[in-house]
């Protein structure tokens, strides 16, 4: 049973070693570690990192894929009370370099597989690059690390970058208290523990993936780490390796069902958690026939993962809903800007899981936190039973394959092209990815710009998942309001009128 959140937390890794030293903590490929073994390896790595200069408060960026090394490094940095900055592997070196500079990272940890990418990203930046593969070969320093006995709820643990509305990412500050309360609140709805196994196929550098690592530690529960998503491997883990919980996005779930040709799942699969938008009714019906309990979630990096959940029992009854707030999380809908009554408005939340603010951005923090509520920027409504329906993604967010893509960031890249006068970006529905990026372009007078050249230009500057799948050249100016703001709704209408369909 989890303890209620307070102002001081024990060192959870030390507690698990005391309570269940031989309990299984993590499985990654052929490797299986107990909590005691994980603790010993984390302390050994912590000693090496300290010798390299990492100390309490150091900002340490981590460029690693899903692996045992990722989990060990998270726990090692915790024992040093350093600040973890997980980096998205899918970003370009230029994008990574911007984040390293913005967060003022003192160290960049990586492995052999990503060393070239890390070197290019850190070139010309005052950051110390450390290869974990090299550290592994070094002897453990004689001076051991004394792990902290406790952490304060307000202590900063993580800075995770989330794309911003102006085209620049924002570093979301998350404390030990944020992470613990999120896991604690989720536990009230959905208890899990040492008899479960939670499969991590979502990227651990995202808040949804990192939340699984935290839950394993808080719950005393084994986590099973897959390097990447492979539907056959996931089904194998569910059928034969005791996996009882898994977090995925919609297209992953569909591929799991396709791979096993809709054969039923064992009763040991207790839950499939899905974020990134409501699950389509046909897929929910397939899941019901296959015996998959689908728990839908709504959350943000700023809420340390989940804020709202919809139980499997309500999935079809409340089709399209994100569910109800987690216990201890409050939610309300703001009125329209004109102050009149409205069914829909901006979704606002508050609770101990919500970020204290953005790194180095006091003005943006003040805009997001007003009157004691965090303003998500998402539009939604709450029905008479208290269920939330998210009607529009915040600031026209595009979610493609579970990745957040903000139009303003893509537009900024397009507008930097010498042949582009105007650019507008929207999402288009896609059966495989949920949404894909579509760009509208007005070329400069006399400029010769074609789709292939623009896409090649973007490919050098943007992560692959952010690339436009289609470029539409407008004959006139893009639609704007009286103040010059781009009217994306009109772009969607233009797309619907073309040979593409946008619902």
HEC profile for 353-370? CCCCEECCCHHHHHHHEE
Overall pTM surpassing 0.95 (yes/no): no
Measure Cα distances from 75 to 165, 183, 354 in Å. Answer: 32, 17, 22
In order, the DSSP letters of 299-333 are EEGGGTEEEEEE-GGGTTTTTT--BEEPTT-EEEE
Name 58's Cβ contacts closer than 8 Å, sequence gap at least 6.
80, 82, 83, 106, 107
Measure Cα distances from 256 to 239, 263, 272, 274, 293 in Å. Answer: 12, 10, 11, 13, 14
- Which of 162, 171, 150, 17 minimizes the C-alpha distance to 78? 150
- CA–CA separation, 22 vs 452, rounded Å? 57
CA 87, 300, 190: angle at the middle one, nearest 5? 110
- One digit per residue, the tens of pLDDT, for the chain of length 503 reads 788 999 999 999 999 999 999 999 999 999 999 999 999 999 999 999 999 999 999 999 999 999 999 999 999 999 999 999 999 998 999 999 999 999 999 999 999 999 999 999 999 999 999 999 999 999 999 999 999 999 999 999 999 998 544 457 899 999 999 999 999 999 999 999 999 999 999 999 999 999 999 999 999 999 999 999 999 999 999 999 999 999 998 888 989 999 999 899 999 999 999 987 788 888 899 999 999 999 999 999 999 999 999 999 999 999 889 999 999 999 999 874 433 334 778 899 999 999 999 999 999 999 999 999 999 988 888 999 999 998 766 667 788 988 878 787 898 889 889 899 889 999 999 888 989 999 999 998 888 899 999 999 999 999 999 999 999 999 888 988 544 567 888 898 899 887 544 44
- CA–CA separation, 399 vs 283, rounded Å? 18
Top CATH class of 397-497 equals alpha beta
- CA–CA separation, 387 vs 317, rounded Å? 11
Q: Are the beta carbons of 161 and 358 closer than 8 angstroms?
A: no
């Amino acid at each position: 049973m989890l303890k209620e959140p307070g102002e001081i937390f024990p060192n959870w890794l030390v507690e698990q070693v005391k309570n269940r030293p031989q309990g299984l903590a993590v499985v990654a490929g052929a490797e299986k570690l107990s909590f005691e073994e994980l603790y010993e390896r984390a302390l050994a790595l912590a000693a090496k990192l300290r010798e390299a200069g990492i100390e309490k408060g150091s900002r340490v960026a981590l460029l690693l894929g899903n692996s045992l090394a990722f989990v060990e490094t998270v726990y090692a940095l915790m024992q040093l009370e350093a600040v973890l900055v997980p980096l998205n592997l899918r970003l370009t070196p230029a994008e990574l370099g911007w984040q390293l500079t913005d967060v003022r990272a003192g160290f960049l940890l990586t492995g052999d597989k990503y060393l070239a990418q890390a070197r290019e990203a850190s070139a010309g930046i005052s950051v110390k690059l450390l290869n974990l593969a090299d550290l592994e070969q070094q002897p453990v320093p004689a001076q051991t690390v004394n792990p902290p006995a406790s952490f304060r709820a307000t202590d900063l643990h993580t800075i995770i970058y989330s794309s911003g509305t102006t085209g620049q990412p924002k570093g979301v500050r998350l404390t030990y208290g944020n992470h613990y309360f999120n896991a604690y609140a989720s536990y009230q709805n959905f208890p899990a523990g040492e008899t479960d196994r939670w499969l991590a196929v979502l990227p651990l550098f995202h808040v949804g993936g990192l939340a699984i690592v935290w839950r394993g530690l808080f719950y005393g529960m084994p986590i099973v780490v897959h390097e990447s998503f492979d539907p056959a491997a996931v089904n194998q883990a569910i059928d034969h390796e005791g996996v009882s919980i898994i977090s995925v996005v919609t297209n992953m779930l569909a591929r799991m069902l396709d791979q096993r040709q809709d054969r039923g799942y064992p009763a040991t699969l207790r839950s499939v958690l899905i974020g990134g938008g409501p699950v389509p009714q046909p897929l929910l019906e397939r899941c019901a026939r296959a015996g998959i309990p689908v728990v839908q979630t709504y959350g943000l990096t700023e809420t340390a993962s989940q804020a709202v959940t919809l139980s499997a029992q309500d999935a079809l009854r409340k089709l399209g809903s994100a569910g109800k707030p987690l216990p201890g999380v409050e939610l309300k809908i703001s009125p329209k800007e004109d102050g009149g009554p409205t069914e829909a408005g901006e979704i606002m939340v508050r609770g101990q899981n919500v970020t204290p603010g953005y790194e180095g951005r006091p003005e943006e923090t003040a805009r997001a936190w007003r009157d004691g509520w965090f303003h998500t920027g998402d539009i939604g409504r709450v029905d008479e039973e208290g269920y939330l329906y998210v009607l529009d993604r915040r600031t026209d967010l595009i979610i493609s394959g579970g990745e957040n893509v903000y139009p303003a960031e893509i537009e900024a890249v397009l507008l930097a092209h010498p042949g582009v006068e105007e650019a507008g970006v929207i999402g288009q529905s896609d059966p495989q990815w949920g949404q894909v990026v579509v760009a509208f372009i007005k070329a400069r007078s006399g400029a010769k710009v074609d789709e292939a050249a623009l896409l090649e230009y973007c490919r050098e500057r943007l992560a692959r998942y952010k690339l436009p799948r289609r470029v539409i050249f407008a004959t006139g100016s893009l639609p704007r309001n009286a103040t010059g703001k781009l009217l994306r709704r009109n772009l969607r209408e233009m797309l619907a009128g073309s040979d593409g369909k946008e619902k």
